[in-house]
Amino acid sequence: VTVSELYAEYESDFKRLQDEIDGVFLEMETAPSERAAKKVAEAGRKAVEADQALRQMDMEAKTMHTHQKAALEPSLRLYRAGLAERRKRVAQLKEAVERKALIPEGGTILGKSTQERERMLQANDRMSS
């Protein structure tokens, strides 16, 4: 299928952005937690850019002849599905980062360490026995 130069350019941008999003995901696995929020935001921005490129590809495909458009539709569907998966992962990572920010390092809850909590629970158990 021959596609317009504009479509090919948008497709190239889309693929580059997908690769960059995947790269951010890999970086997040080794990034310190204080940089994780920035990485999630970066992945989110790249997902928005990829969505824009995909929309442009869609618009460009609509201007093509029916047989050309039909040939491109399966790849556009795959691109949409891949982007949806990446957006879902970005949302999950964002939620995880936000949750982790609520619980400070050292596993303390309301200023009490988990060891302190365990000790109090054991004391309560002994008193009630």
Distance of alpha carbon 19 from the chain centroid: 12
Containing 39, the helix (H) or strand (E) segment is: helix 33-62
DSSP reduced 3-state for 105: coil
Output the pLDDT for position 106. Answer: 58
Output the pLDDT for position 88. Answer: 97
Token pair 């990446």 is found at 86
- What does the domain layout of the chain look like in residue ranges? 5-128
Output the pLDDT for position 104. Answer: 61
Output the pLDDT for position 92. Answer: 92
Nearest to 28 by CA among 39, 20, 17, 38: 39
Query: Per residue of the chain (129 residues), what is the pLDDT tens digit?
Result: 578 899 999 999 999 999 999 999 998 887 777 788 899 999 999 999 999 999 999 999 999 999 989 999 999 999 999 999 999 999 999 998 888 777 666 555 555 676 777 788 888 888 887
> What whole-number distance in Å separates Cα of residue 31 and Cα of residue 39?
9
Question: In terms of CATH, what superfamily is 5-128?
Answer: t-snare proteins (1.20.58.400)
Output the pLDDT for position 10. Answer: 96
Contact 13, 53 (CB under 8 A): yes
